[in-house]
Amino acid sequence: MDDHRPHAVVIGSGFGGLAAAIRLGARGWRVTVLERLERLGGRASVLERDGFTFDRGPTIVTAPFLFEELWQLAGRQLAEDVELRALSPFYRIRFNDGDEISVSASAEWMRREVLRVAPSDLDGYQRFMAKADDICRIGFEQLGDQPFGSVADMARIVPDLLRLEGYRSVHGLVARYVRHPKLRTALSFHPLLIGGNPFRAPAIYCLIPALERRWGVHYPLGGVGRLVEGMAALVGELGGTVRTGVEVTRIETRGAKASGVKLADGQSLSADIVVSNADAAWTLGKLLEPSAVALADRARLARARYSMGLCVWYFGVRGRYEDVGHHTILLGPRYRELLDDIFARKRLAEDFSLYLHRPSATDPSVAPEGCDTFYALCPVPNLDGSTNWESEAERRRAAIQQRLEETVLPGLGKRLLTSHFITPRDFQDDYLSERGAGFGLEPVLTQSAWFRPHNRNSGIEGLYLVGAGTHPGAGLPGVLSSARILDKVVPHASQFAR
Ligand SMILES: Cc1cc2nc3c(=O)[nH]c(=O)nc-3n(C[C@H](O)[C@H](O)[C@H](O)COP(=O)(O)OP(=O)(O)OC[C@H]3O[C@@H](n4cnc5c(N)ncnc54)[C@H](O)[C@@H]3O)c2cc1C
């Protein structure tokens, strides 16, 4: 039987693209998701190797209600497909001198941790968290899923931005409340989780610790890939199609209206609307005819700053490191200066900080029996820097291994069973990420809200953007919220006039 529903093409199967496809499907659209890779999930895809299961990207799942909502739109419950496990503590921050702070949702736990590390900062810590709650309420709950399509939308939030001191940097705001350098670091590192420099990212991102405390830090048993699988299945249940190995090379237009997409094999696919979950800079800079790009977007691209790059080492080991928790942050000797090297000087420094993921701490199913699955993530300059990754990759991997052996994983080298290392070049080649950036455009005030590429493109009717490079930004809550915005800017299929 012919399907007369209006047709939406979604370019890319990252969390933003899959969430958009579910929402459009639930609102009567016939949806086709086109993914250039053979695997789904984009940065959240899965790497299977020698019996180990690695989530390639996101590991910290916050605001789980955003996922629950998607299952409900398909008439289902998330818990039928995926078991989310709440972690306690959330993570451990290990400083270069071996000192540690463990972060948890429990007020009593945090009181003890702060008293141990920085006793005179307890009052400041509590006032900071109250401020972070306030920022979360406005910045995430009220504004996170609002489209910022006009200057008036931006003007409306200026009073809140001033009141919440959103013009300060994250570190600048933290420093107004607490004095101890370790506590300042523990309360300010969060923008790094979404590609930002704590000394430049606007204080609005102080919402992250509040978001974690309010809704918890979760892990889906089986890995984050279970969420991707589940979402792709929902697209199908809502009458949509997901195709892998299909690259879009051009968004086609008729007049100033999106009319479909051109594929790498030369075929065209017509569409009533196109939703791009591809990198926003790539979408505007490479998928559109240059003359079709709105002046404001051209200006955005011309002055764009990109988030940091990432090296990620996925490795599996014989035996289990029972003392290592699910999430550990291992800080190096320098904080601000290292960030300057990464973000401003774009220089690959000898020292580094790491985030270490050990999902087998919670879920033995991701490793062969008696083994551990890990990844170590290392922030590095994006491809605006001059690092030659051909020659540097193995040197960096070996340095990470040595650092881990000296700190939390003694004897690591003798226990390695599998190993895979990626650099910013892989982000460029696999995800078509501009400058190999780990998280798309850098989260700075001048690239936030109205200043970020809009969810509804202003130059081409029927073209929409979701994912890390559009509003509100990177991270799972951000990209799921970008798809939520589509409900406000795309008409229900029954009201769509062809
Ligand atoms: C290592 C790492 C760790 C992270 N950890 C966390 C975390 O713990 N918690 C958290 O909340 N966030 C985390 N993030 C951030 C989060 O993963 C991302 O912001 C989010 O997954 C990006 O989703 P997206 O919708 O923008 O799409 P992406 O994941 O970027 O996917 C886009 C997809 O589009 C496809 N595509 C691109 N161009 C085309 C084309 N022309 N044709 C067809 N397909 C195309 C790509 O192949 C890709 O599959 C992490 C990111 C990384 C890299």
Ligand 1 center to residue 35 CA distance, Å? 12
What is the signed CA dihedral for 456, 458, 459, 463, rounded to 10 degrees? 10
Query: CB of 235 within 8 A of CB of 157?
Result: no
Q: Whose CA is nearest to atom 45 of ligand 1?
A: 12
Domains of the chain, CATH where assigned: 7-44+221-304+442-495 (3.50.50.60), 105-216 (no CATH), 308-431 (3.30.519)
Element (DSSP H or E) covering residue 242: strand 241-244
Establish whether residue 385 lines the binding site of ligand 1, counting it when its CB lies within 6 angstroms of any ligand atom: no
29: confidence class by pLDDT, cuts 50, 70, 90:
very high
Average pLDDT over residues 215-226: 98
- Residue pLDDT, tens place only, 243-252: 999 999 999 9
Distance CA 261, CA 289 (A): 12
Establish whether residue 202 lines the binding site of ligand 1, counting it when its CB lies within 6 angstroms of any ligand atom: no
302: burial class by Cβ within 10 Å (0-12, 13-18, 19+)?
exposed
- Residue pLDDT, tens place only, 48-65: 999 999 999 999 999 999
Distance CA 148, CA 448 (A): 9
Establish whether residue 312 lines the binding site of ligand 1, counting it when its CB lies within 6 angstroms of any ligand atom: yes
Query: CB of 357 within 8 A of CB of 324?
Result: no
1: confidence class by pLDDT, cuts 50, 70, 90:
low
Give helix then strand counts, H and E, for the chain.
17, 19
Establish whether residue 231 lines the binding site of ligand 1, counting it when its CB lies within 6 angstroms of any ligand atom: no
Establish whether residue 26 lines the binding site of ligand 1, counting it when its CB lies within 6 angstroms of any ligand atom: no
**Ligand 1 site-directed mutation target among 23, 38, 43, most atoms within 8 Å of CB:** 43
Atom of ligand 1 nearest to the CA of 17: 25
Inter-CA distances, 424 with 55, 340, 375, 389, 406, Å: 17, 18, 16, 8, 26
- Please report where in the chains the tokens 């073209």 appear, as a residue: 463
Establish whether residue 17 lines the binding site of ligand 1, counting it when its CB lies within 6 angstroms of any ligand atom: yes
- Residue pLDDT, tens place only, 83-132: 999 999 999 999 999 999 999 999 999 999 999 999 999 999 999 999 99
pLDDT at 73 over 80: yes
pLDDT at 443 over 80: yes
- What pLDDT does residue 161 have? 85
Distance CA 223, CA 216 (A): 17
pLDDT at 184 over 80: yes
Establish whether residue 220 lines the binding site of ligand 1, counting it when its CB lies within 6 angstroms of any ligand atom: no
Ligand 1 center to residue 429 CA distance, Å? 13
Q: Whose CA is nearest to atom 22 of ligand 1?
A: 468
Distance CA 315, CA 426 (A): 17
Q: Which residues contact 235 (CB under 8 A, 6 or more apart)?
A: 18, 21, 22, 25, 31, 33, 241, 242
Instruction: Please list the residues that pair with 241 across neighbouring strands.
Output: 32
Ligand 1 center to residue 245 CA distance, Å? 16
Establish whether residue 36 lines the binding site of ligand 1, counting it when its CB lies within 6 angstroms of any ligand atom: yes
Which amino acid does the sequence have at 367?
A
152: confidence class by pLDDT, cuts 50, 70, 90:
confident
- Residue pLDDT, tens place only, 257-306: 999 999 999 999 999 999 999 999 999 999 999 999 999 999 999 999 99
**Ligand 1 site-directed mutation target among 193, 277, 422, most atoms within 8 Å of CB:** 277
Q: Whose CA is nearest to atom 2 of ligand 1?
A: 57
| Closest listed residue to residue 485, CA positions, set 258, 18, 147 | 147
Inter-CA distances, 475 with 7, 15, 63, 385, Å: 28, 10, 11, 24
Distance CA 56, CA 301 (A): 28
Strands 84-86 and 52-55 turn out to be unpaired
Inter-CA distances, 337 with 80, 309, 491, Å: 47, 17, 48
Establish whether residue 253 lines the binding site of ligand 1, counting it when its CB lies within 6 angstroms of any ligand atom: no
Establish whether residue 20 lines the binding site of ligand 1, counting it when its CB lies within 6 angstroms of any ligand atom: no
Give percent of the chain with pLDDT exceeding 90.
Answer: 92
Establish whether residue 64 lines the binding site of ligand 1, counting it when its CB lies within 6 angstroms of any ligand atom: no
- Residue pLDDT, tens place only, 369-428: 999 999 999 999 999 999 999 999 999 999 999 999 999 999 999 999 999 999 999 999
